[in-house]
């Protein structure tokens, strides 16, 4: 049985879109950029702001009721219901540690029937916190498990591929992938038939 490692934000949910529509644009009504214009992640450069301003806005949104209760991607959730039992699943996120409890709860509430393992690579750790891994690649190397990584980050995709994992990167404005979610899910189903 293959093990799929799932990025959470912008794969299982649409955090960046929701933040941009309901966080950033609400705070910056004069912004003329569209979601499709977020050609880098983090998007501070394309937004024309300091990284700290972007991070503060994203952190505020993550702590809101809307940010904690994002709707799961319906296509992905439907695939889990039909095909999820043919794989083992791990959620792997990289975000500030203080935002992880809400996200872990969200993953278990919506995907807990299939995802039984939750990993985190904390970002922006304060002094006194141990740093075990500096990237998802480091985490995956330590874990020694996983056959496929599904992630929207090109850097994470390259790191996983260098470890021998198959990789699937759904298209987002900040990457060069053309892989749609339906095509990605179809490829995963094909892999189940081969294993």
The pLDDT assigned to 194 comes to 75
The pLDDT assigned to 195 comes to 63
**Which residues have a Cβ under 8 Å from the Cβ of 118 and sit 6 or more positions away?**
90, 91, 93, 104, 107, 108
Give kind and range of the element (H or E) at residue 93.
Answer: strand 88-96
**Residue 180, helix vs strand vs coil:** coil
Among the listed residues 17, 7, 3, the one whose alpha carbon sits nearest the alpha carbon of residue 174: 17
The pLDDT assigned to 65 comes to 96
The pLDDT assigned to 192 comes to 84
Give kind and range of the element (H or E) at residue 51.
Answer: helix 51-62
Task: Say how many residues make up the chain.
Answer: 195
pLDDT in tens, 54-108: 999 999 999 999 999 999 999 999 999 999 999 999 999 999 999 999 999 999 9
The pLDDT assigned to 193 comes to 77
Give the integer Cα–Cα distance in Å for 97 and 62: 12
- pTM, two decimals, is 0.96
Q: Average pLDDT in the 116-140 region?
A: 94
The pLDDT assigned to 60 comes to 96
pLDDT in tens, 36-55: 999 999 999 999 999 999 99
Residue 118, beta-bridge partner list: 91
Q: What are phi and psi of 41, to 5 degrees?
A: -140, 110
The pLDDT assigned to 87 comes to 97
**Residue 32 buriedness (CB in 10 A; 0-12 / 13-18 / 19+):** exposed
Give the integer Cα–Cα distance in Å for 173 and 43: 10
pLDDT in tens, 137-195: 999 999 998 999 999 999 999 999 999 999 999 999 999 999 999 999 999 999 987 76
The pLDDT assigned to 131 comes to 92
Give the integer Cα–Cα distance in Å for 135 and 17: 23
Give kind and range of the element (H or E) at residue 117.
Answer: strand 115-123
């Amino acid at each position: 049985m293959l093990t799929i490692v799932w990025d959470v934000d912008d794969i299982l949910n649409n955090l960046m879109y929701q933040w941009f529509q309901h966080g950033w644009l609400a705070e910056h009504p004069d912004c003329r950029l569209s979601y499709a214009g977020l050609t880098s992640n983090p998007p501070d450069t394309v937004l024309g702001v300091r990284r700290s301003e972007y991070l503060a806005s994203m952190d505020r949104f993550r702590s809101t009721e809307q940010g904690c209760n994002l709707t799961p991607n319906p296509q992905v959730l439907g695939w889990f219901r039909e095909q999820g039992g043919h794989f083992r699943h791990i959620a792997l996120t990289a975000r500030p540690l203080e935002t992880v409890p809400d996200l872990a709860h969200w993953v278990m509430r919506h995907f807990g029937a299939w995802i039984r393992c939750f990993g985190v690579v904390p970002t922006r750790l304060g002094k006194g916190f141990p740093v075990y891994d500096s990237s998802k690649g480091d985490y995956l190397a330590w874990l020694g498990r996983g056959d496929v990584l599904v992630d929207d980050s090109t850097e994470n995709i390259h790191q996983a591929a260098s470890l021998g994992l198959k990789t699937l990167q759904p298209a987002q404005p900040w990457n060069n992938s053309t892989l749609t979610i339906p095509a990605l899910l179809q490829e995963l189903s094909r892999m189940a038939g081969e294993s």
